[in-house]
Structure 1
């Protein structure tokens, strides 16, 4: 598949997703968010391409990359086309060279389910329990300058974002607390600037809960009924949906990266 064909496929996937949401159906968005949770380092366009061609994919790599992992792509398997950057070198005035993005090209990757060979290192998450990831999410909030505290009653809510601070309802299970904190962190990161005035409450909740869904799914949490309730709410505008998906992808990617790199030294600061 060529670059232009991949771009057309991505556009078609986005239009279909918008149409599904306009019809009140959330299955396609859920598939996309599940894909994003496995491929959070990929652009939202490549996530669309993966989910359009193989919605069950969990880990992809090129033909030779699988061989280096002592796995072989089975004969006859159809590859997944994604877009990869073309990087060249540009001469600076001082004679040095620096990397420059020249464009994109279509490349073929394969899912692990299309290969045979040696077992891979365990990349799956703890089912049903965020484990240490909850402490890491606490530390992430603190590293972003956001204070955390707990109260017994939040008027029926599990969490509240207050602009620089988040209050969580005490007594939540670790899974519910992780999902709620991810949701409120998304509000803090996405909806405290000018977007606070321009975005509707529905879009804000869609974005925050979609981020929470991606991050929670990535650490192994399941049965996120509240997420499903929020996710079906969208007007079906493909242009606005594309902007939201980009924002969701960047924010979820940031939080997932922080979960891997943040220091736990600050978690004692949680009130």
Structure 2
């Protein structure tokens, strides 16, 4: 597959996703968000390409990269086409040079299911328990300058975002608290500027629920999007608004997932 073909495939996937939402169907969005949760380091466009070509993919790498992991791509397997940046050096006026992306090329990767060889460690599965990632998410919130507190009654809500502070319902399970905190952090990161006024409540909830789903799924939790069906139909076929939201979701989820791996582990009692 050539670069232009890959770009066309990505655009077609976005249009189909918008049409599915306009028809009141959320399966395609859920499929895409699952892909995003597995490949949060990939760009929005490449997530689209992977979801379009192999929605069941869980871990992808190039032919030689798999060999370095003591696995071999099976003969006859068809690669998944993604776009890789072409990076070069550009000289600045002061004589220094800096890296710059000047184009993209089509490359092919393969899912682990297309390979044979040495077993790989499962880096995400936590059997419905976020484990130490809950503490790390607390630390991430505090590192972003957001205060956390707990209340016995939030009027039916599990969490509330108040612009610089998040209140969580006391007594939630670890999985529910993790997912709720990810949702409220998404509001803090996405909806405290001008977007607070310009985006509808439904769009904001879709974005927050989707970020929480991606982060929670990557942390090994299940069922994070089951209660979100009412928000998923919000774009009514508007592919441009949908693309903007998906890019924002991908960027925010990636930020939180990167922080989960980067922040030091603190005891929950100290963080709280």
> TM-score of the superposition, structure 1-length normalised?
0.96
Equivalents in 2 of 1:32, 1:265: separation in Å?
33
Does residue 147 (structure 1) correspond to residue 115 (structure 2)? The answer is: no
Report the more deviating stretch, 239-248 or 117-126.
117-126
1:45-88 CA deviation, whole Å, 9 max, x = no partner? 10000000000001111111111111111111111000000001
Does residue 133 (structure 1) correspond to residue 133 (structure 2)? The answer is: yes
Secondary structure of the corresponding residue to residue 124 of structure 1? coil
Secondary structure of the corresponding residue to residue 221 of structure 1? coil
Q: Is the contact made by 1:150 and 1:169 (CA closer than 8 Å) also made in structure 2?
A: yes
Partner of 1:82: 82
Gapped regions of structure 1 (runs ≥ 5): none
Partner of 2:166: 166
Q: How many residues align?
A: 271
Gapped regions of structure 2 (runs ≥ 5): none
Secondary structure of the corresponding residue to residue 58 of structure 2? coil
> TM-score of the superposition, structure 2-length normalised?
0.96
Q: Is the contact made by 2:132 and 2:265 (CA closer than 8 Å) also made in structure 1?
A: no
Runs of 4+ in structure 1 deviating by more than 6 angstroms, as ranges, are: none
1:224-235 map, 5 Å: 224=224, 225-235=226-236
Partner of 1:240: 241
Partner of 1:220: 220
Partner of 2:188: 188
Q: Is the contact made by 2:22 and 2:233 (CA closer than 8 Å) also made in structure 1?
A: no
Secondary structure of the corresponding residue to residue 264 of structure 1? coil
RMSD (Å) for aligned C-alpha atoms: 1.4
Equivalents in 2 of 1:162, 1:218: separation in Å?
26
Partner of 1:199: 199
Q: Is the contact made by 1:151 and 1:170 (CA closer than 8 Å) also made in structure 2?
A: yes
1:151-170 CA deviation, whole Å, 9 max, x = no partner? 01101101000000000010
Report the more deviating stretch, 111-120 or 91-100.
91-100
1:26-41 map, 5 Å: 26-41=26-41
